[in-house]
Structure 1
């Protein structure tokens, strides 16, 4: 798979290697925890970084369920085969590892050069801890007594976000010894660069692929959105169809209730009560609060697959929480693709393509909103809105009105609202006078928005009449450029 984008991520990793090269971090060695959702491209990113660094490196990838003694032998083999390790790697080429992790890691540290920087990568650290409960403590001991004294950049990779967070938590042995960095999907700008599309179509491509590298790189340069979709839904083994299923199977093996909750949110349920009703039992009774609440907490806090939003204004509204799928690709997959594999296997990919086409405009209009809010957060504050630090939406219990954009100084309760805005992501119709009038009326309902500016984000430029009533209007180019 061709490597694309990731300029910012490579610069971050490079800055940590610079700390080792300069020994400016307080010790010769530096440790960084690199986490991110499964299949988001962590391993490929770090492998590319190591190859570009020009430094010796060791890349060890753990295997789930592999007994600890075999994993320790695999680690020694990885050191022996490490790029540029030479005589240092040869020292462990035929060595049998000790019978515990503490002495194994100490032996590894002894084999590393003392006068030349080296990158040491331990991939899928949670699987090592699963196989041996003593791994975490052994890692702490090895770092304190041996590894940190060497000019080594230790990169600890993992896809289980909750376990990776615990690795550096206060009550964990490795607390205070490593930085943290989260690898996200490719950005809309990366997707545009990879696909060669204009900004409006590149944002469509981002909504379909979610920036998952293996899905993005299967997009032929310059290929239209409809052409890409037709090609993918006709092939039951295509990456667009299969990545979602593999990701869910890896994250939630045999977790039927969590899967049902995800599917309810993916189908459009946004409130706690709506999700409970749609995931209830065969008797028609909603899922009990004591059952649903911890599942939603896991999905939002631990897995970070679901986001929980609150209306943004100067008035608190904690009971108006709304849930959405945070993963852009998974949001599309749950809404449109879960049943497309079966159609593709029957040779009826056109059925899936037609179904997606019918609902695309309405689905896209809502799906693009969180992407636009993130883009504005990357652009603001600026000279026009110097006090806007948060961008959200606003709604009341009846969702009437439902305001797409609220720019404020803080969240979830703002001290001041500086703008209220609308997102109109239509192919043919620009933001017009009727849209401006509706926005002006809705703004009057937002607590604290009296006198706030009116803004819009529109796929097409606004009409002249509407533009005169707006303080600012951003288009697709400005949205994509927010990531550059």
Structure 2
């Protein structure tokens, strides 16, 4: 399969290769996001040395695996070394015989760092004593365990401190890349179906690889998520164990955020879930964010202590809401539920997340991509004088304009009725009164198929965006 999208990453790789300076490149991202495929395809599988860590293996097995790769690559018959210092010394000896550019790729690096293995000591020796002085040498290391990649490697406080020259996080596909990926498989969904798939599995290439030609998005979701042999029916239980040490605690924290409505402040977690206020909580929130399960943002007009953490992994949300307690599978189970109120509520929230993840394209559609802006949301609790109000998405612009977004997911053009028009007016008034903003406030409607044309469609709406705008140009 050809390499789809990834323009930013490919440009970065090309930039690294154009220089003759040695490079130590740390690549990380969510499990199944396509890190290994990207690196292998970009370099056409041409490496001076390649190896990968083994999941759930001990030091002896990891060293044996490393030695097998050494012998296969260089035509040697090395015996398995007793430690990582010796293993990397063997690698150094063989690489030193190579003239010209030298690309090394070590995949699933965190798995090599087994308990009391001193793996990082060996890696430190290899880089600091030799590799960092070799012109044209490029060391690419990769891992799904983002917490380890960041805490143990990128932020290493020992001999590898500040040695990583490039840090690249591989993000899921955008909607546009997802469309290109499906088209490359001969799957010609309309954009509504693509958005529906995205709301379930996000832009994770390995998940999208399961989508079958000739079936609708809804049929594919049922087969992949609810059939006993479907990949996503059982994927969740492997997700955390492969990424984190003490993975149960990360999963428990994520579940508590889900129980609080899929979004919570640190204060909410401490008060309502009796989570201990400690550096460990902060660390786990940061690790979940770096691993792609959470995203954080500052609500409009608040300070950093009010940071909101929201579950941003589409599959996790769908699994916890529908798959986990789905029971024995029966044909047509999901298809029969597509009009349920629970499904409609989920779809509305998931579509909001899709919009948040494509703010760059929203700004482009509004013609404000060149204007500095900050993205947030806003919520006002009900009080004795007025009801509550919420703004799904806010773009606060440096040119003294605030775009307030009303996001609606529907199967038809969205109709603004007289009552809904009044609701929108009250919401804008509440925002202005509560925040005391002096900026101009523009209302943007962002819907799947745009607005139904009537007398209210342009009454106070400044911009009418559709899901097509999320795909970009």
Name the TM-score, length of structure 2 as normaliser: 0.83
- C-alpha contact 1:36 1:183 (8 A) present in aligned 2: yes
**Structure 1 stretches of 5 or more lacking a match?**
83-88, 278-285
Cα distance between partner residues in 2 of 1:109 and 1:253: 31
- C-alpha contact 2:400 2:439 (8 A) present in aligned 1: no
Once the 2 structures are TM-superposed, how far is the Cα of residue 426 of structure 1 from its aligned partner? 1.3
Between 5-14 and 303-312, report the one with greater CA deviation.
Answer: 5-14
Report SS of the residue matched to 2:295. strand
Cα distance between partner residues in 1 of 2:61 and 2:102: 24
Once the 2 structures are TM-superposed, how far is the Cα of residue 156 of structure 1 from its aligned partner? 0.9
Once the 2 structures are TM-superposed, how far is the Cα of residue 402 of structure 1 from its aligned partner? 0.6
Query: Which of 72, 76, 92 matches 2:67?
Result: 76
**Which residue is equivalent to 1:408?**
396
Between 449-458 and 154-163, report the one with greater CA deviation.
Answer: 449-458
CA-based RMSD of the aligned residues comes to: 3.1
**Which residue is equivalent to 2:13?**
14
Once the 2 structures are TM-superposed, how far is the Cα of residue 396 of structure 1 from its aligned partner? 2.0
Task: Check 1:343–1:463 CA distance in 2 against 1; reply closer, same or farther (3 A cut).
Answer: same
Once the 2 structures are TM-superposed, how far is the Cα of residue 330 of structure 1 from its aligned partner? 1.2
**1:208 and 2:207 equivalent?**
no
**Which residue is equivalent to 2:447?**
458
Query: Which of 166, 173, 192 matches 2:159?
Result: 173
Cα distance between partner residues in 1 of 2:92 and 2:5: 30
Residues 409-451 of structure 1: CA deviation (Å, up to 9, x unaligned): 48xxxx9552112111111242525445433321222222652
| Aligned residues between the structures | 446
**1:333 and 2:319 equivalent?**
yes
Task: Check 1:242–1:5 CA distance in 2 against 1; reply closer, same or farther (3 A cut).
Answer: farther
Cα distance between partner residues in 2 of 1:350 and 1:325: 28
Cα distance between partner residues in 1 of 2:410 and 2:389: 20
Report SS of the residue matched to 1:223. coil
Query: Which of 55, 63, 79 matches 1:96?
Result: 79
Query: Which of 302, 318, 322 matches 1:316?
Result: 302
Name the TM-score, length of structure 1 as normaliser: 0.81
Residues 209-232 of structure 1: CA deviation (Å, up to 9, x unaligned): 122222211112363222213333
**Structure 2 stretches of 5 or more lacking a match?**
none
**Which residue is equivalent to 1:152?**
137
Task: Check 1:336–1:76 CA distance in 2 against 1; reply closer, same or farther (3 A cut).
Answer: same
**Which residue is equivalent to 1:283?**
none
Task: Check 1:211–1:171 CA distance in 2 against 1; reply closer, same or farther (3 A cut).
Answer: same
- C-alpha contact 1:343 1:351 (8 A) present in aligned 2: no
Between 170-179 and 235-244, report the one with greater CA deviation.
Answer: 170-179
**Which residue is equivalent to 1:39?**
32
Cα distance between partner residues in 1 of 2:264 and 2:67: 51
Between 294-303 and 33-42, report the one with greater CA deviation.
Answer: 294-303
Cα distance between partner residues in 2 of 1:323 and 1:10: 27
Between 348-357 and 149-158, report the one with greater CA deviation.
Answer: 348-357
**Which residue is equivalent to 1:281?**
none
Runs of 4 or more, structure 1, over 6 Å off, are: none
